[in-house]
Each structure stands twice: as structure tokens, then as C-alpha cells.
């Protein structure tokens, strides 16, 4: 799957802070599990620069799918499944513009290809003609 920049930015926020706060060395460990061979030390870039760089390198590869499955792994949210479901819902608001959705099927994270973008009517816009 290939994601737009805005979706990658949201994924970065989820990886770096929203799912759990990951320090620099924890980000290195997270991305090394996806095939990178980085080390953490002096001169390490900011966490968001590092994560943006890694996400751009794996965008469109099977490692991106693994990355998404890793960050939303159900086992990481034991005792807080509602948080996982909120994160998935938030991410899907961006992901739908790439015509994808990520769903939790009990303990499994799955991808669903969408035919089109459907934006729910929230009823917050008012008809100006009234």
C-alpha cells in the first residue's frame, strides 16, 4: 500500500506518541524490526524527522503493512482495547483517502481495500439558505 503524506504524518504521530511515547532508542528498535540496521547515539535526529524518514523509505513496501500491524498490535493494548479502537478510528479518517481501512478482528489487525472515499455526514454544517 502507498500512503499519502498526510496519512504518513498521522502514522508518525501514532508511532511516536499516541500509541505510546517512544524514545529515540525505542524508535530505532521499532524500525530495526522492519529490516533497518540503525543505531542510536550522538547526532541522532529528532524523533519526528527519524520516523518520517523511515516511513518514507518503507511506503509502498510490505514493511509498511508490518509497521502498521506492529503499532496496532492488540497485545500492546491489553487492558486498554478502547484506546486501540480509538487510534484505529482516528487513523482510518486519514487512511480512507488512500482507499484503505485498518480493522481489528478480535486479536488480528487486517487491511480492507475501499472502493471509494465515503465521508460520514456529521450534521455540523448548516444550510446557509435558511
* Confidence at residue 85, expressed as pLDDT on a 0 to 100 scale: 97
Give yes or no for residue 129 having a pLDDT over 50. Answer: no
Residue spans of the domains in the chain: they are 5-113
Q: What are 86-110's pLDDT values in tens digits?
A: 999 999 999 999 999 999 999 999 9
Measured from the Cβ of residue 86, the count of other Cβ atoms closer than 10 Å reads: 12
Residue 97's closest CA among 11, 14, 31, 13?
11
SS3 (DSSP) at 110: strand
Q: What are 11-33's pLDDT values in tens digits?
A: 999 999 999 999 999 999 999 99
Pick from 19-33, 48-62, 109-123: least confident: 109-123
State how far the Cα of 128 lies from the Cα of 25, in Å rounded to an integer. 52
In the chain, pLDDT over 90 holds for what percent of residues? Answer: 86
Amino acid at each position: 500500500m502507498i500512503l499519502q503524506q498526510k496519512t504518513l504524518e498521522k502514522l508518525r504521530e501514532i508511532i511516536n506518541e499516541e500509541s505510546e511515547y517512544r524514545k529515540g532508542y525505542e524508535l530505532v528498535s521499532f524500525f530495526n524490526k522492519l529490516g533497518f540496521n540503525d543505531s542510536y547515539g550522538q547526532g541522532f535526529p529528532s524523533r519526528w524527522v527519524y520516523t518520517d524518514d523511515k516511513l518514507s523509505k518503507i511506503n509502498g513496501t510490505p514493511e509498511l503493512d508490518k509497521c502498521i500491524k506492529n503499532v496496532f498490535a492488540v497485545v500492546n493494548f491489553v487492558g486498554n482495547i478502547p484506546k486501540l479502537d480509538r487510534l484505529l478510528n482516528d487513523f482510518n479518517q486519514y487512511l480512507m483517502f488512500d482507499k484503505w481501512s485498518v480493522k481489528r478482528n478480535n486479536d488480528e489487525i487486517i487491511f480492507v481495500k475501499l472502493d471509494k472515499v465515503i465521508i460520514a455526514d456529521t450534521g455540523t454544517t448548516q444550510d446557509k439558505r435558511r
